């Protein structure tokens, strides 16, 4: 099954992380993508910081900022393909960034079967 | 319960989980499999009561569930050709009860107790899918709104299907088994509290004991699984004396011990010995050992409190939750006046965590009364009364308040 991993964090909590620690984890993340290349169908994207977000709302209203008011922000996403939810959870648990407080990985199954729309 | 209803209940319990698993393996859709079996259970209740029990109840259920599954797949309009092809092969196959191995219920149980599901829906889903309880039965047993419950179950089943939660025993058993055991434990204890001795069409306590034993037998090298089976077996062995015929709650100290089930205690002892032989102690085994001390005591006064206090010491080390410490304090208070004073002091320290819990107030009332502080005890009982939502418990506290009228003239 295909899942999207949404990599999220709380910038306020990450502010306390030292530059060295952040760099070390960044290196591990690079390794993570290499190690798991066989199940990553689309490595997706790493996003610019949330301060760069612009949102277009209902009615065409353009506003500065992300779509919701939560402290946690989405920092990137990837598409993975694994056997089942347990495998997806097991893989998400190895996400190197999780060693920092406020970091989370949201797992969402992708719609793959469009037969209901045919 | 009439004999035919009892047979119906045990047949449903034995077959439901297996059928859900088998239909899931066949059609690959958990929601369809579960709905099909629920439908068959509902049909069985009506049809067996009307026409009598069929010669082979298990085969009857299997046939009905298979037919429902095919109907559901057709009506959902998906995989129409696959369905027709499968339907054709069904006519050739004799309906057999699927899966004789008790293990085939375990993958289903792990799916229903999956950490991706909200904790509050795991129990309801387990009772429906694994044991074959209907939503109205679950709603009645746990005193919850039937419609809300039904919606929660639908959402949980959709999540299982949509997120690709497979029916399997997980690799990380150490991490996942506690969730399963917690649900089985809740199945018993929620039923225990909600039940006021009135007759239901299923004996939920017996169902929970049965499920605990299924888990233990399927995972025979897991000490805590045996510990839980022992614990629930003992608790159920005392169930008959927990309520008066009027549905009034009887405290352990006042229970008629001649009504306790010695055969159940013997079975529980075997479970506990099995657990002990695995040398992996844990909270369920300790609770079972404490329950066994009570089961073996001829009376409240002749209970081996020293042993129980020692066991609570170990249990608190494993599980220092406020409720466990509260129960430990009650045991400690039985050792003598000095220990009762210590126990009361312990209970007072739990106020920040347990001030909203009726049994904290009720326990405090008891210990205050032991210390001769009757006015404060009555106040505590009144607080307990305000907080309890259970009728049987409310009546018990009211009786206690009547027995101990205020002596300070207020």
Give me the CATH number covering residue A16: 3.30.70.1060
For residue B352, what pLDDT is reported? 93
Residues of chain B contacting A1 with CB distance shorter than 8 Å: 164
What's the confidence (pLDDT) of residue A5? 98
**How high is the pLDDT of residue B404?**
59
Scanning every residue of chain A, which has its alpha carbon at the shortest distance from the alpha carbon of B176? Answer: A86
Nearest beta carbon to residue A84 from set B162, B166, B172: B166
Q: Are strands A73-81 and A2-9 parallel, antiparallel or unpaired?
A: antiparallel
Tell me the residue range of the domain where A35 lies. Answer: 2-111
> For residue B169, what is the nearest residue in chain A, using CA coordinates?
A86
CA distance B75 to chain A (A): 13
Q: Give the pLDDT mean for B276-291.
A: 96
- SS3 of B303-341: the string is CCHHHHHHHHHHHHHHCCCHHHHHHHHHHHHCCCHHHHH
CA neighbours closer than 13 Å in the CB half-sphere of residue A18: 3
Q: Which of B78, B162, B170 sits opposite A86 (nearest CB)?
A: B170
- Give pLDDT, residue B410: 35
Chain A hits for B116, CB-CB cut-off 8 Å, are 85, 89
Q: Between these two residues, B195 and B131, which has the higher pLDDT value? A: B131
Average pLDDT over every residue of B159-176: 92
A89/B115 Cβ within 8 A: yes
Task: Give pLDDT, residue B407.
Answer: 41
Interface check for A88 against chain B (CB to CB < 8 A): the answer is yes
Q: Tell whether the model's pLDDT for residue B152 goes beyond 70.
A: yes
Q: How confident is the model at residue B191 (pLDDT cuts 50, 70, 90)?
A: low
> Alpha helix locations (H) across B219-280?
223-237, 262-276
Least confident of A43-57, B74-88, B202-216: B74-88
Mean residue pLDDT across chain B: 87
Pick from A83, A85, A116: CB nearest B116: A85
On whether any CB of chain B is under 8 Å from the CB of A80, the answer is: no
Please give the helix or strand (H or E) that residue A25 lies within, else none.
helix A19-35
Give the residue-averaged pLDDT of B325-351.
94
- Are B166 and A86 a contacting pair at CB < 8 A? yes
Q: Can you tell me the ipTM of this complex?
A: 0.85
A64 and B CB contact within 8 Å: no
Interchain pair B170, A85: CB under 8 A: no
Closest A-chain CA to B76? A116
**Minimal Cα–Cα distance from B311 to chain A, Å?**
36
Residue B79 pLDDT more than 70?
A: no
pLDDT on residue B138: 87
Contact A83 B78 (CB under 8 A): no
Residues in chain B with CB shorter than 8 Å from the CB of A83 are: 166
> If you average pLDDT over residues B251-258, what whole number do you get?
91
Task: Enumerate the residues of chain A whose CB falls inside 8 A of the CB of residue B171.
Answer: 86
pLDDT in tens, B92-132: 444 444 444 546 899 999 999 999 999 889 999 999 999 99
* Chains A & B: contacts with CB separation below 8 Å: 28
* Distance (Å) from the alpha carbon of A57 to chain B's nearest alpha carbon: 28
Say if the Cβ atoms of B164 and A88 lie within 8 Å: yes
**Would residue A13 count as lying in a domain?**
yes
The C-alpha atoms of residue B38 and residue B18 are separated, in whole angstroms, by: 13
pLDDT, average across residues A28-57: 95
Compare B398 and B212 and report the one with higher pLDDT. B212
Any domain includes A83: yes
**Other CB atoms closer than 10 Å to residue A101's CB: what's the count?**
11
CB-based contact A109 B171, cutoff 8 Å? no
Q: What is the mean pLDDT of residues A83-111?
A: 96
Q: b vs e for B82-96, b when ≥16 Cβ sit within 10 Å of the residue's Cβ?
A: ebeebeeeeeeeebe
Average pLDDT over residues B56-71: 94
Residues 6+ apart with CB under 8 A from B206: B236
- Test the A interface: residue of B29, B79, B164 with most A CBs within 10 Å: B164
In the three-class reduction of DSSP (H, G, I as helix; E, B as strand; rest coil), residue B356 is classed as: coil
Q: Quick one: closest CA in B to A118, which residue?
A: B78
Q: Quick check: B81 pLDDT over 90?
A: no
Q: Please report the pLDDT score of residue B398 as a whole number.
A: 82
Number of domains in chain A: 1
d(CA A38, CA B309): 56
Residue A32 covered by a domain: yes
Of the partner residues B165, B171, B172, the one whose CB lies closest to the CB of residue A85 = B165
Whether B286 and B263 have beta carbons less than 8 Å apart is answered as no
Q: Which two tokens stand for residue B113?
A: 């107790």
- CA of B325 vs chain A CAs: smallest distance (Å): 31
Contacts of A90 in chain B (CB under 8 A): 172
pLDDT of residue B100: 47
Mean per-residue pLDDT, B285-292: 97
pLDDT of B336 over the 80 cut: yes
Cα separation, A107 vs A87, in Å, equals 11
CA distance A77 to chain B (A): 17
**pLDDT over 80 at A99, yes or no:** yes
Cα dihedral B340→B345→B350→B354 (10° resolution):
60
Neighboring chain B residues of A116 at a CB cutoff of 8 Å: 78
Is residue A20 assigned to a domain?
yes
Asked if the structure places residue A117 within a domain, the reply is: no
Average pLDDT over chain A reads 93
CA distance B319 to B285: 12
Asked whether residue A84 is domain-assigned, the answer is yes
Percent of chain B with pLDDT over 90: 64
- Mean pLDDT in residue range B302-321: 95
- Confidence at residue B144, expressed as pLDDT on a 0 to 100 scale: 83
Q: Where are the beta strands (DSSP E) in A1-118?
A: 2-9, 40-46, 54-57, 61-64, 73-81, 104-109
- Report, as an integer, the average pLDDT of B53-61: 91
């Amino acid at each position: 099954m295909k899942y999207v991993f949404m990599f999220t964090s709380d910038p306020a909590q990450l502010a306390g992380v030292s530059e060295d620690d952040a760099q070390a984890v960044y290196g591990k993340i690079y390794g993570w993508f290499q190690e798991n290349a066989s199940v990553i169908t689309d490595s997706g994207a790493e996003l610019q910081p949330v301060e760069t977000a612009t949102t277009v709302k209902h009615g065409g209203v353009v506003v500065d900022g992300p779509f919701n008011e939560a402290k946690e922000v989405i920092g990137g996403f990837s598409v993975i393909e694994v056997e089942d939810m347990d495998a997806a959870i097991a893989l998400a648990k190895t996400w190197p960034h999780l060693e920092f407080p406020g970091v989370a990985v949201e797992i969402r199954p992708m719609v793959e079967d469009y037969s209901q729309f045919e | 319960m009439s004999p035919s209803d009892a047979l119906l209940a045990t047949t449903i319990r034995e077959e439901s989980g297996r059928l859900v698993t088998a239909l899931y393996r066949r059609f690959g859709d958990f929601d369809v499999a579960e709905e099909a079996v629920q439908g068959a259970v509902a049909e069985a209740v009506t049809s067996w009561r009307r026409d009598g029990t069929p010669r082979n109840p298990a085969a009857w259920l299997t046939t009905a569930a298979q037919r429902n599954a095919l109907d559901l797949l057709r009506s959902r309009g998906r995989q129409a050709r696959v369905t027709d092809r499968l339907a054709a092969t069904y006519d050739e196959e004799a309906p057999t009860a699927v899966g004789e191995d008790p293990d085939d219920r375990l993958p289903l149980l792990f799916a229903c107790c999956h950490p991706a599901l909200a904790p509050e829906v795991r129990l309801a889903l387990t009772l429906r899918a694994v044991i074959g309880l209907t939503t109205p039965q679950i709603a009645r047993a746990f005193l919850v709104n039937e419609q809300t419950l039904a919606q929660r179950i639908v959402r949980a089943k959709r999540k299982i299907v949509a997120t690709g939660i497979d029916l399997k025993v997980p690799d990380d058993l150490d991490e996942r088994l506690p969730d399963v055991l917690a649900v089985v434990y809740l199945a018993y204890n929620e039923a225990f509290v909600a039940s006021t001795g009135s007759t239901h069409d299923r004996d939920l306590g017996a169902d929970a004991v049965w499920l605990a034993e299924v888990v233990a037998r399927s995972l025979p090298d897991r000490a805590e699984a045996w510990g839980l089976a022992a614990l629930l077996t003992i608790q159920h062995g005392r169930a008959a004396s927990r309520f008066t015929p009027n549905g009034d709650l009887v405290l352990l100290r006042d229970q008629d011990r001649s009504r306790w089930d010695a055969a159940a205690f013997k079975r529980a002892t075997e479970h506990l010995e099995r657990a002990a032989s695995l040398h992996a102690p844990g909270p369920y085994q300790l609770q079972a050992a404490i329950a066994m001390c009570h089961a073996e005591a001829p009376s409240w006064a002749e209970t081996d409190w020293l042993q129980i206090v020692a066991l609570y010491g170990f249990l608190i080390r494993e599980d220092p939750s406020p409720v466990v410490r509260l129960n430990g304090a009650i045991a400690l208070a039985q050792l003598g006046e000095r220990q009762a004073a210590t126990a009361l002091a312990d209970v007072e320290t739990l106020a920040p965590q347990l001030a909203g819990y009726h049994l904290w107030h009720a326990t405090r009332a008891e210990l205050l009364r032991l210390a001769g502080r009757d006015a404060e005890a009555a106040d505590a009982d009144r607080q307990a009364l305000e907080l309890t939502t259970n009728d049987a418990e409310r009546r018990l506290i009211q009786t206690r308040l009547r027995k101990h009228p205020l002596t300070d003239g207020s």
